[in-house]
Amino acid sequence: MTLTSLNIPENPQHLAEWLEELICSEKLSQAAVQWEVLADAPSDSAPLSLAELAGSHLLEIDENGLKSLPEEDLRRLMSHPEAILELQEHILAECPEYWQRWLGGPRASTASDAAWTRIEAQLDQRPAAKPPVETRGGSSSRIWSVMGTVLAIAACLLIGIWVIQPPAKPTGWGFNEPGVLESARSEDELLDTLADATHAWFNKRPQNREELALRLKQFDAGCQKLLAAELAPLQPKTHESVDAICQKTRDEIAGYLAQLSEGGDPSAIRNAADQTVTTLEETLRQLKQPS
């Protein structure tokens, strides 16, 4: 059996492309655990998030792939499984144009669609991560987690079967929350549901440039999903109005992302985004038929 983690290209110039292909495959969860086991990071070190490891490069990663990261940062990302799985979730949710070459592009093949369906199924099954608990000796419970993984790997190698816990699917929010666009049975109920989903923007307050860019892109992905949805309970005229305000919101978000990329003040941009989202929410509620 070949261990994915041992196939890392020796040539640094090929590392980014190899990792991109792996992120867009079903083998990532397997490789992530292997890298954690083989990493020489201190056992009591806290896992780092995607924002902490590559947040300042996230817009460049969306637009130009992992070659935006220096080799040292790429290898640091590989040593933090939760972060690299978070990047896979981000790419799966938003499907940036650059990454469509791995995802199959607008004309994705049946095989590509099937592979991503299997990845989504894996994401659905992964249990929520547990925070590390300090032991009496001062070491994190992550030691035991890694030791358990090592033992599982050894057992699987003995019987020739690879058993791996699949990665977790992030909880969707806003228009990306499962069932939001399909659950309503009347026009007013759907408009209320959409307005409530819009307000979810305020449930988490980004504290820096990277977090704000990520949340804006997540909200924009939800707007794309809304624009592509059938929204059967809506009358044609109401549907047109929803599409119009949703597209206006997307246009404004694109402007905010451009401002962030050019070094704009995150606090001012967040305030402007708050107003954009509030306008969207109010418009959706005003579209309801008078009682």
Per-residue pLDDT tens over the stretch 139-179? 444 434 444 444 444 444 443 433 333 444 445 789 988 88
Beta pairing partners, 140: 134
pTM: 0.49
As a whole number, mean pLDDT of residues 92-101 equals 72
Hey, is 134 helix, strand or coil? strand
Query: What confidence score (pLDDT) does residue 36 get?
Result: 64
pLDDT over 50 at 137, yes or no? no
Q: Give residue 291's pLDDT.
A: 61
**Residue 257: per-residue pLDDT:** 93
How many other C-beta atoms can be found within 10 angstroms of the C-beta atom of residue 283? 19
The DSSP 8-state label assigned to residue 57 in this structure reads G
How many CA atoms are closer than 13 Å to the CA of 233, on its beta-carbon side?
Answer: 17
- What percent of the chain shows pLDDT beyond 70? 66
Go through 200-235 and write b for each residue having 16 or more CB atoms within 10 A of its CB, e for each that does not.
Answer: bbeeeebeebbbbbbbbbbbbbbbbbbeebebebbe
Task: Please state the rounded mean pLDDT for residues 248-252.
Answer: 96
Please classify residue 58 by burial: count the beta carbons closer than 10 Å to its beta carbon, then call 0-12 exposed, 13-18 middle and 19+ buried: buried
> Angle of helix 209-228 relative to helix 266-286, nearest 10 degrees?
20
Third-level CATH fold of 174-286: Four Helix Bundle (Hemerythrin (Met), subunit A) (1.20.120)
What is the predicted pLDDT for the residue at 279? 97
* Domain chopping of the chain, boundaries: 4-155, 174-286
Q: How confident is the model at residue 39 (pLDDT cuts 50, 70, 90)?
A: low
Report how many helices (DSSP H) and strands (DSSP E) the chain contains, helices first.
13, 0
